[in-house]
């Protein structure tokens, strides 16, 4: 986003609030180094939360193709970042998504876009995992879907328990992935480093 016209309505009001936040934190919002900070933060927050204005289901539908393929399709190591809704601090990591087509496939990049859309909202990892799975399930009607998300949470690293090396893993699955053998195949494939 380069042009100011690409930002959502309310940008100036958001910047005004961030200027007030700086003052409430004990800063001089009028000092040279902070003069443009409220607008920079407002723009950053609009970018970091732009998933609210996007339809993940439509993204998949825009690249929906009839295909007679019924084996596992995996898109792994999808980098993402999001903001924890409890502290508005980042959490980031990788999402791994698999589905077994049932007559239709979607463009592979669209799976990554679905992850981006749900991660660009105030989130909790558990909900994001579920939303990704449900979007693919409801749009493609596959034989099964599985999503695994692995993330580091700055709210755990910078404050509170301050555990820098902890990783949180969430998963959700449906259909054919209810079978332990199918889930295990997926897990083996996403953790295969070759």
Known catalytic residues? 84-87, 125, 153, 155
End-to-end CA distance of the chain: 36
Q: Which residues contact 177 (CB under 8 A, 6 or more apart)?
A: 98, 100, 144, 145, 146, 183, 186
User: How far apart, in whole angstroms, are the C-alpha atoms of residue 164 and residue 157?
Assistant: 5
Instruction: Quote the DSSP letter at residue 8.
Output: P
Q: Minimal CA–CA distance to 81: which of 67, 65, 69, 92?
A: 92
Joined tokens for residue 24: 């409430």
Instruction: Give the span between the Cα atoms of 121 and 1, in whole angstroms.
Output: 17
């Amino acid at each position: 986003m380069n042009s100011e016209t690409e930002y959502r309505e309310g940008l100036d009001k958001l910047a005004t609030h961030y200027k007030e936040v700086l003052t409430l934190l004990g800063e001089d919002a009028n000092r040279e180094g902070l003069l443009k900070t409220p607008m920079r933060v407002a723009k950053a927050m609009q970018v970091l939360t732009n998933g609210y204005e996007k339809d993940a289901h439509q993204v998949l539908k825009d690249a929906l193709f009839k295909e007679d393929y019924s084996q596992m399709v995996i898109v792994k190591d999808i980098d993402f970042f999001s903001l924890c809704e409890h502290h508005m601090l980042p959490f980031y990591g990788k999402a791994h998504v698999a589905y077994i087509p049932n007559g239709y496939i979607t463009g592979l990049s669209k799976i990554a876009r679905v992850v981006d859309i749900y991660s660009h909202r105030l989130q909790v990892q558990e909900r994001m995992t579920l939303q990704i799975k449900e979007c693919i399930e409801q749009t493609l009607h596959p034989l099964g879907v599985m999503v695994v998300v692995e993330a580091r949470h700055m709210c755990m690293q910078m404050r509170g328990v301050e555990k820098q090396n902890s990783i949180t893993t969430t998963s959700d699955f449906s259909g054919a992935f209810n079978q332990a053998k199918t889930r295990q195949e997926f897990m083996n494939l996403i953790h295969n480093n070759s």
